[in-house]
Amino acid sequence: MSTSIDQNVLNKANAWLQGNYDEETKASIRNMMENDPQELVESFYRSLEFGTGGLRGIMGVGSNRMNKYTVGAATQGFANYLKKSFPHIDQLKVAIACDPRNNSPYFSQITADVFSANGIKVYLFDEMRPTPELSFAIRHFGCQGGIVVTASHNPKEYNGYKAYWNDGAQLIPPHDKNVINEVNKITDVADIKFEKNPELIEIIGKEIDEIYLEKLMALSLSPDAIERQKDFKIVYTPIHGTGAKLVPAILKKFGFKQVYTVEEQNVPDGNFPTVKSPNPEEPAALEMAINKAKAVNADLVMATDPDADRVGIAVRRDDEFILLNGNQTASILIYYLLRKWKENGKLTGNEYIIKTIVTSELLIDIADKYEVEHFDVLTGFKWIADIIRKNEGKKTFIGGGEESYGYMIGDFVRDKDAVASCAMIAEAAAWAADQGIGFYDLLLDIYTEFGFYKESLISIVRKGKAGAEEIQQIMASFRKQPPLTLNNSKVVMIKDYQLRVEKNLVTGESKKIILPKSNVLQFFTEDGSKVSVRPSGTEPKIKFYFGVKAPLDSKIDFEFVESQLEGRIEGIIKDLGV
């Protein structure tokens, strides 16, 4: 056995066998050693680390799995770091929430136990809650940190652990690496304090829901339009997740009277029995909701992922429903926000929006029209929150988003917020209906004004240790031999966020990228196309983002121009060999 398994893996597994772990865990390790060496490798070849979404992995036994001990070690390391970071605060505080996944309540209780055992006050939600409400609770209670136990939209065998700082945002450097360093110092399970202090754990619930919902109400920009369109029909599904708690409630508070839910998907269930994947990016995840919308003659369908930080939508066009991608929804939201802020006399010249580098450039065009400043940041809402933190008290954040169906409006939450997004998407749809146009036609009007931006995404899944190595090899190959042309258009600029260098291939000039280091490559062509390549920080994937643009003189030309743009994307994909 020892000759076929990496010695490092064996050393880690044996350390668990000899350590103070429960007998069930040890029995599982012995079984892998005897019967499933490949699973042993996958379970122990590395330790889980914080990526763009924190700690995330398959549930099971081992250092590379989500279990009592990896969660406990992460919490102990985080507790140690909080104590070092806030030495002058007598009573450190954290907030904890979880989604409906299998083991989520268990992991959140383990997290609460370890924090309390370390003398840290814990605000623990009584049951599942949306991730954005956890971010809000951190700020509301003046906490130094927080945790939400969730694997977002990952398959059912996954769970995760998102760590937050005192501003309600996910950890960024140096905090993320420093927490990992603290976790790595825990070499013995005996270093983890599992014995809880019940006096330091306070259960919270509905009272925070109400405060959070009132904050969301203040975002509304067109209450008069909603009043006139109060019977605008909406179908919503939480896909068995936390959105069931608050999305229907906020839609009702906003004034919508005809909100329908998909009853089968209202039931919290970590097995997500009605969908192949609880991911609102996947058309199949919205299938039941669209069928319901057809049955009740609704105009808007919205679906949130299990922790309710992302939302996918479908809109009626004639007798069919069209799924919008994340770039399209983000564009409509930003357009609506900026237009209404201007119409309502709220723009002072000191406002800004934020998007990620892989999100549509259309958002920049819209911001430029309304003379609103924009920022481009790395993928992940922690970077959007970082810009808000740096501009606190100086400038006003209106909204922001990323192509992967995450949006944020206002700054009282510091992570993507599908509860707020559902409310504002519904309001934008009602506002459009009040002007006699459908939501999809609003998108076409935006394309006609600013240009037709067409985006596409390909994700290549490569699981496990071998997959991770293959993904790194793909990135290395593109760095060593970048494409010279894409779809017969010259590559004129390359941005390498790992080297933090932007190179103009026409002039030969290079300049520094003023963003943190990240393993991302971007290629820009002569005809205005943009290709981004990046390994996912939360899943075993490498992602290719494609963006092309052309003028759209009239709505009647939409299908023709779309066909042309699709052809350009297909040509780029072929040239990249994806």
Q: Please, are residues 277 and 310 in contact by the beta-carbon 8 Å criterion?
A: no
Nearest to 336 by CA among 349, 353, 357, 323: 353
Nearest to 162 by CA among 183, 177, 180, 148: 148
Residue 497 one-letter amino acid: Y
| 174 preceded by a cis bond (ω within 30 of 0) | yes
Cα–Cα distance measured from residue 250 to residue 256, given in angstroms and rounded to the nearest whole number: 9
Q: What are phi and psi of 460, to 5 degrees?
A: -105, 120
Contacts for 316 with CB less than 8 Å, ≥ 6 apart: 293, 298, 299, 300, 322, 438, 439, 440
267 token code pair? 């039931």
Give Cα 80 to chain centroid, integer Å. 27
CA distances from 146 to 99, 135, 143, 160, 318 (A): 14, 8, 7, 14, 46
Residue with tokens 């009647």: 556
28 token code pair? 């599982």
What is the tally of helices (H) and strands (E) in the chain?
19, 23
208 token code pair? 């925070």
**Axis-axis angle for helices 418-434, 206-217 (nearest 10):** 40
CB atoms near residue 320 (< 10 Å): 11
CB atoms near residue 252 (< 10 Å): 12
Contacts for 93 with CB less than 8 Å, ≥ 6 apart: 120, 121, 122, 123, 141, 142, 143, 144
- Pairing state of beta strands 201-204 and 351-356? unpaired
- Pairing state of beta strands 300-304 and 233-237? parallel
**Greatest Cα pair distance in the chain:** 74
Residue with tokens 């379970």: 43
Contacts for 464 with CB less than 8 Å, ≥ 6 apart: 42, 540
Catalytic residue among 28, 63, 108, 152: 152
Active site annotation includes 152: yes
Q: Where are the beta strands (DSSP E) in 422-514?
A: 452-461, 485-486, 489-496, 501-504, 510-512
Angle at CA of residue 13, ends 11 and 16, nearest 5°: 110
Q: Catalytic site residues? A: 152
